Amino acid sequence: MAPMIVDDDSKPKSLETLLKDLKVDTDDAPTLYPSVNQDELNKKTAQYLFNYGTTFNTDIIVGSKGLYVYTASGRKVLDWTSGQMSCLLGHGHPEIVSIIASHAAQLDHLFSGMISPPVISLAERLCTLLPDGLDKAFFLSTGGESNEAAIKMAKVFTGNFEIVGVGGSWHGVTAQALGAQYHFGRKGQGPLMPGMHMLPPPSAYRTIFKKPDGTHDWETELDYGWQMIDHASCGSLAACIVECIQSSAGMHVLPTGYLAALKRHCEKRGMLLIVDEAQTGIGRCGDLVAINHEGVVPDILTLSKTLGNGLPLSAVVTSNEIARVCHERDYCFYTTHVNDPLPAAVGDKVLEIVVRDNLVAHTRAAGEVLHAGLRQLQARYGCIGDVRGRGLMAGVEIVADRETKEPATEVAKRVGERAYQLGVWANLSSHPSFGGSFRIAPPITITEAQLREGLAMLDEAFASTEGTMPLYI
């Protein structure tokens, strides 16, 4: 096992010590908003902020630093979701802060046809680190935008228009990305993009496709899905888009061999394979990019979230041949912030730090600690039906009964609220499409002590919440 980042005192602390540590010291807390009225701000939130599809947390966050966020009520909370799964190196990383400050002052935003050194450096560093066949890149702002660009690229290159997605997927809220997304957000807006098809969700925990021994028969499931698509297709299949770990669906990992089989299905039909690594990329899963885990090279790779460490930055990377043909066919994805220098400089620095500090190996080692701790919780509480993930991405699914796998969303909600009170934030996905699953993805700079402290708080949250079905006396 590779050496892990450790604190000076890496021994697990008692819960009492832990809670005392989570009281904000004046020397420790950020001072950007030192004094705010939380009740007044919540009233203004209700009055002025449009609800875009979420429930706003009543705690107003006034600061972030390292692995923690700070509340107006005077608490610090261990951030086990890296913001929106994005702050790969933690909040306020000093080298990232320095890059932002220097480029904000001297090289921030340019005309979209102008190219700057950080954009060239990021493209070179990224393409050099990726497998052959991922040779040319350009940079946008969000994951949805990069997936939109990738889908359009596939359509221009193939001359076809039908796109295959996977059940449980999340690719963004722009038109084509949303059309290929089968988790949430499709309703209430009339017809979506034409020519969109869905493969069955590859969820080993809840699948109806099983071998005689009860294990997931993903090969039959995948073949069946393609048979249905072949029946439905009008003969214009362009691409299939997939995530290596379906985070929004509850952290479902593609079965071993699935991605390679998916590529063979695409090649058989003259389609491109697009892999969306918004959350899995840049070391999160114990490989620099998740496609490295099985050595599968897609035709187009999209990155976002982790690449910008919380800043809006995404990438579309493809082969020399696809880039050549698309250029000849007048491919256009010209946006206000394409190849902006400031976020590109941040992305370049993120890659430099991840490689320089050997954070991929650290993530593998830290992931072993995280998953071992979560499996230990599963052995202690009957409400934990499944623990899954890879590296520093983990899902914990809460059920009312392990045999029937009936979701226990109210229990999950109470556990999540209790964990937050104790000082650790783990996002609870409570949408009916995946029951109640905690999504855990802390910054990959997390220390072993911080992992064990978070696990201790989760343990206390389960122990002190009614309905968790303890399996010990």
- Would you kindly state where each structural domain of the chain is located, as residue ranges? 15-46+72-76+359-463, 97-356
Q: In which region does residue 334 sit, left (phi positive, over 0), alpha (psi from -120 to 50) or beta (all else)? A: beta
277 is catalytic: no
- How far is 183 from 203, CA to CA, in rounded Å? 13
DSSP string for residues in 297-358: --SEEEE-GGGGTTSS-EEEEE-HHHHHHHHHTT-----TTTT-HHHHHHHHHHHHHHHHTT
pLDDT, residue 8, reads: 46
Q: Do domains 15-46+72-76+359-463 and 97-356 have the same CATH topology?
A: no
H/E stretch holding 64: strand 61-65
From the candidates 155, 263, 305, 349, give the one annotated as an active-site residue. Answer: 305
Tell me the pTM.
0.93
d(CA 149, CA 334): 10
CATH of 15-46+72-76+359-463, one of 3.40.50.850, 3.40.190.10, 3.90.1150.10, 3.90.1150.60: 3.90.1150.10
Residue among 216, 214, 182 nearest 202 (CA): 216
From the candidates 170, 218, 226, 425, which is the catalytic residue?
170
Distance (Å, whole) CA 272 – CA 180: 14
Task: Supply the pLDDT for residue 5.
Answer: 56
pLDDT given for residue 319 in this prediction: 98
Element (H, E) at 418: helix 409-422
Q: Which of 276, 287, 386, 460 is catalytic?
A: 276
| Residue 80 known to be catalytic | no
Question: Is 421 a catalytic site residue?
Answer: no
In the annotation, is 227 catalytic?
no
246, 279, 378, 450: which one is catalytic? Answer: 279
Looking at the DSSP bridge assignments, the partners of residue 273 are: 240
User: Is 243 an annotated catalytic residue?
Assistant: yes
Mean pLDDT per block of 10 residues along the chain (473 residues) reads 49 49 55 89 94 87 95 92 96 97 98 97 98 98 97 98 95 91 87 95 93 96 98 98 93 96 98 98 97 97 97 98 98 97 98 98 98 97 97 96 94 94 84 76 96 96 96 75
CB-CB neighbours of 384 under 10 Å: 25
Q: What pLDDT score does 185 carry? A: 85
How distant, in Å, are the alpha carbons of 286, 366, 408, 447 from that of 7? 21, 13, 36, 6
Please answer whether residues 53 and 248 qualify as being in contact, where contact means their C-beta atoms are separated by less than 8 angstroms. no
Active site (annotated) includes residue 47: no
Q: Are 74 and 38 in contact (CB under 8 A)?
A: no
CATH 3.40.640.10 assigned to 97-356: yes
